[in-house]
A = this chain, B = another copy of it.
Amino acid sequence: MQKIASGIYKLTFGTPEEITPVSVLKPDTCLEALNALDDHPLPFTREDIHFQPRQGSVLLELPLDPKEEVYGLGLQLKSFRQSGSKKKLRTNSDPSADLGDSHAPVPFYVSTAGYGVLVDTARYATFFCGGCKRVGSRQDLEQFKSAGTGKGHWEVKKGSGNMLIDIPAAEGVDVYIFCGKDMKDAVSRYNLFSGGGALPPMWGLGMMYRADWHADQEDVLQLARQIRDDEMPCDMFGLEPGWQTNAYSCTYVWDKSRFPDEKGLIRELNEMGYRLNLWEHAYVHPESPIFPELRPHSADSYVWDGLVPDFTQAEAREAFTGIHQPFIEAGLSGFKLDECDNGDYIGNWGFPDFARFPGGADGEQMHSLFGQLYQQTMLAPFKAADRRTYGQVRASHALAAPYPYVLYSDLYDHEDFVRGMATASFSGLLWSPEVRQTATREELLRRIGAVIFSPMAVLNCYMIPSPPWKQFDHDRNHAGEWLEDWPQLAQQCRKLMQFRMSLIPYLYATFGKYSKQGAPPIRPLVMDYPEDREVLDCFDQFMVGDDLMAAPVVYGNGDTREIYLPGGRWYEWLTGEWLDGGQWITRQVPEDEVPVYIKQGALIPWAEPVLCVRDHTVFNIEPVLYGAEAGECLLLCDDAVSYATISESLPFAKIKIAGEGIVSIEEQEQEKVSERYSIAGVKYVL
């Protein structure tokens, strides 16, 4: 057993494989930050863990008390609490069933007992979270006491057992155990072990709009002007497939017939305050200039007749970043990295599990790591240019916290999408329940109402030429028939997006803390209230930072929802009324609103909404203090776009309110605050 840092232990069983998340991704562990934390012992001894090699796999058995609840295992759209479940962690797009297939399955779970376990494997490991009872086990004895009580004809009793983890093909494995005072602490340590949370550029916390994929250069610019004319917040503007000469597989070459002057396009968009983001995937078309160079550094199987680069190889990374370099030099802000998950559910595509890569990985291992290697590869040139990026990606895995990429899915069930916001946070993942087509006006608003509380507020309008606030119906949008009262719908959408924009300083500071302390910026209540059994299954209420709770309404559930307020006093954002916690309340929620509650004592630096965050935007802040006479909050005062500031300790400034409306900032911090924030008088909500 090796102690890695305060509360973090590494245990080795058998002979671990060479290709694992830790060995391949090489996390830049935040040792200093970790060792500044309290130490905690292992929750069980090494002898309590059983390791059993068997034909073609190894089995790990870790203790699990029936009182413990288990969360994690990556982005799980169809289940939240994992206690009793079985999950086979396979990277896979658009899973229609709750089997463990996921865009981002992560072999990391966390227990309400305050510890997390990372099983360092790139294999499709199966986790049995207590649902498997073994003959002769401790739980077996307990069973016999209760045997025969369930006489129901279909009444099924779920077994309760230990945590069992089956890892195919391996002959051994390293296990990292993260011990803290509670789940949030354990997850934070895991994120710091991974390298700390991603800090997006400040503009990344604004809105993203992805344009009609049929649009050419002039259409794109028209659309961009229209969004500005409509005064809708928007920071990121994305192109979908269609900008390249070939998309499946990719050439990474602009189709000049549609985009004759891409540099001009980027420049014009930048002038309007947009940052351009381009769709692509990593399978390299035979006509791509880098095809010959990549061929020896690629898998032995094609995807869509395209090469699969082995991103563990420097040659492959260099060739691949080489063709992207001009985009970055031209001012591109980031990429949407599509299709890097496997595609079993939507047809047979993706390289096979038996594929061989020159670096030694097989297809199974590479499927687990491919999304993150792709992110790593695409991140490097931005880092080299000292410019932060914030992009989208469809696959991730363990140790993902430091990557500034937000997951998305082609699935679309709204409840699943909201659940993803909760599950992602247990495993160092960022997830966006992006808004695409909607059947009704209410659906559009409810979906926007959820996405604005996620790490990236995406409207993916690739299927319609005009913005959805003008016409949400696909066919009418294409026919150019706008809603008669579209300005009213636009105003409702704007109201929700402006709420997001008003949160940016608070959100940005929250991401700053994520970066240095590891606590997920947006997380389900159970992470902050692990002792409260009411929140065990509550996947649709979120702590946004430490002080604010949002309870978006899932579309299809009507306009009324139950909301749980944990212990303490909570202030309703809109009315300023307070309610005592420890109770469920019922709220009728208009379609252009989202219930938001603020903790007693919190100071929230509400900002006057802007349309976009330019490099030198100064936010007008009105700090609001809830149910107290004194309070404080942090503002992050870096340049918000470069990497230079991230590597050091972050330049937070503390804003203090100490009665009678006086805002105080340490003198040496005043200048850096004023470069980004203009602070008006404080408001009290009592």
Pick from B135, B154, B356: contact of A295, CB below 8 A. B135
Q: Which residues of B contact A247 (CB under 8 A)?
A: 152-155
Across the interface, do B348 and A154 meet the contact criterion of CB distance under 8 Å?
A: no
CA distance A302 to B157 in the complex (A): 11
Q: Which residues of B contact A95 (CB under 8 A)?
A: 97
Please, which residue of chain B has its CB at the minimum distance from the CB of A214?
Answer: B153
The smallest beta-carbon distance between A419 and chain B, in angstroms, is 17
Number of identical protomers: 2
Across the interface, do A287 and B148 meet the contact criterion of CB distance under 8 Å?
A: yes
CA distance A245 to B150 in the complex (A): 10
Does A543 count as interface, using CB distance less than 8 angstroms?
no
Knowing A96-B96, A133-B302, A169-B55 are in contact, say whether A246-B348 is a contact too (CB < 8 A): no
Contact flags (1/0) for A123-134 with B, using CB distance below 8 Å?
A: 000101001111
Q: Which residues of B contact A57 (CB under 8 A)?
A: 56, 169, 354
Across the interface, do A134 and B349 meet the contact criterion of CB distance under 8 Å?
A: no
Across the interface, do A349 and B156 meet the contact criterion of CB distance under 8 Å?
A: yes
Does A256 count as interface, using CB distance less than 8 angstroms?
no
Q: Which residues of B contact A353 (CB under 8 A)?
A: 126, 166
CA distance A519 to B86 in the complex (A): 40
Across the interface, do B241 and A97 meet the contact criterion of CB distance under 8 Å?
A: no
Contact flags (1/0) for A143-170 with B, using CB distance below 8 Å?
A: 1100110111111111100001010111
Q: Which of A257-298 contact B (CB under 8 A)?
A: 285-287, 295, 298
CA distance A248 to B299 in the complex (A): 48
CA distance A300 to B61 in the complex (A): 14
The smallest beta-carbon distance between A462 and chain B, in angstroms, is 10
Interface centre among A98, A143, A299, A354 (most CB of B within 10 A): A354
CA distance A247 to B169 in the complex (A): 37
Does A305 count as interface, using CB distance less than 8 angstroms?
yes
Q: Which residues of B contact A128 (CB under 8 A)?
A: 348, 352
Does A242 count as interface, using CB distance less than 8 angstroms?
yes
Across the interface, do B164 and A354 meet the contact criterion of CB distance under 8 Å?
A: yes
Pick from B97, B153, B298, B302: contact of A159, CB below 8 A. B302
Does A406 count as interface, using CB distance less than 8 angstroms?
no
The smallest beta-carbon distance between A455 and chain B, in angstroms, is 27
Q: Which residues of B contact A244 (CB under 8 A)?
A: 153
Q: Which of A327-373 contact B (CB under 8 A)?
A: 344-345, 348-349, 351-354, 356, 362
The smallest beta-carbon distance between A253 and chain B, in angstroms, is 12
Q: Which residues of B contact A156 (CB under 8 A)?
A: 248, 304, 349
Across the interface, do A147 and B286 meet the contact criterion of CB distance under 8 Å?
A: yes
Q: Which of A291-327 contact B (CB under 8 A)?
A: 295, 298-302, 304-305, 307
> Would you call the interface of chain A mostly helix, strand, loop, or mixed?
loop
Q: Which residues of B contact A241 (CB under 8 A)?
A: 153-154
Does A99 count as interface, using CB distance less than 8 angstroms?
yes
Please, which residue of chain B has its CB at the minimum distance from the CB of A363?
Answer: B166
Does A564 count as interface, using CB distance less than 8 angstroms?
no
Across the interface, do B148 and A285 meet the contact criterion of CB distance under 8 Å?
A: yes
Q: Which residues of B contact A136 (CB under 8 A)?
A: 300
Contact flags (1/0) for A94-105 with B, using CB distance below 8 Å?
A: 011111000000
Across the interface, do A132 and B344 meet the contact criterion of CB distance under 8 Å?
A: no
Q: Which residues of B contact A356 (CB under 8 A)?
A: 54
Across the interface, do B147 and A287 meet the contact criterion of CB distance under 8 Å?
A: yes
Please, which residue of chain B has its CB at the minimum distance from the CB of A99?
Answer: B344
Please, which residue of chain B has its CB at the minimum distance from the CB of A133?
Answer: B302
Please, which residue of chain B has its CB at the minimum distance from the CB of A159?
Answer: B302
Q: Which of A168-215 contact B (CB under 8 A)?
A: 168-170, 213
The smallest beta-carbon distance between A430 and chain B, in angstroms, is 26
Q: Which residues of B contact A352 (CB under 8 A)?
A: 86, 126, 128, 132, 164, 166
The smallest beta-carbon distance between A45 and chain B, in angstroms, is 23
CA distance A23 to B303 in the complex (A): 38
Does A27 count as interface, using CB distance less than 8 angstroms?
no
Knowing A85-B348, A156-B304, A156-B349 are in contact, say whether A151-B245 is a contact too (CB < 8 A): yes
Does A30 count as interface, using CB distance less than 8 angstroms?
no
Does A59 count as interface, using CB distance less than 8 angstroms?
yes
Pick from B86, B134, B348: contact of A86, CB below 8 A. B348
Across the interface, do A301 and B248 meet the contact criterion of CB distance under 8 Å?
A: no
Does A420 count as interface, using CB distance less than 8 angstroms?
no
Interface centre among A99, A152, A285, A295 (most CB of B within 10 A): A99
Across the interface, do A170 and B354 meet the contact criterion of CB distance under 8 Å?
A: no
CA distance A170 to B213 in the complex (A): 47
Does A524 count as interface, using CB distance less than 8 angstroms?
no
CA distance A245 to B152 in the complex (A): 9
CA distance A56 to B307 in the complex (A): 25
Q: Which of A55-100 contact B (CB under 8 A)?
A: 55-57, 59, 84-86, 88, 95-99
Across the interface, do A133 and B305 meet the contact criterion of CB distance under 8 Å?
A: yes
The smallest beta-carbon distance between A625 and chain B, in angstroms, is 48
The smallest beta-carbon distance between A20 and chain B, in angstroms, is 13
The smallest beta-carbon distance between A463 and chain B, in angstroms, is 12
Q: Which of A204-250 contact B (CB under 8 A)?
A: 213, 241-242, 244-248
The smallest beta-carbon distance between A458 and chain B, in angstroms, is 19
CA distance A154 to B347 in the complex (A): 14
Please, which residue of chain B has its CB at the minimum distance from the CB of A98?
Answer: B345
Sort A-B residue pairs by CB-CB distance and give the 10 closest, nearest first.
A56-B169, A86-B348, A147-B286, A153-B241, A131-B348, A153-B242, A148-B287, A156-B248, A153-B247, A133-B302
A interface vs B, CB < 8 Å? 54-57, 59, 84-86, 88, 95-99, 126, 128, 131-136, 140, 143-144, 147-148, 150-159, 164, 166, 168-170, 213, 241-242, 244-248, 285-287, 295, 298-302, 304-305, 307, 344-345, 348-349, 351-354, 356, 362
19 A–B contacts from the bound complex (CB under 8 Å): A56-B169, A57-B169, A97-B344, A99-B344, A132-B351, A132-B352, A135-B295, A135-B301, A135-B302, A143-B286, A147-B286, A152-B247, A152-B248, A153-B244, A154-B248, A156-B304, A158-B348, A159-B302, A166-B353
Besides A84-B348, A86-B348, A132-B351, 5 other CB < 8 A contacts?
A56-B168, A57-B354, A140-B302, A148-B285, A151-B246
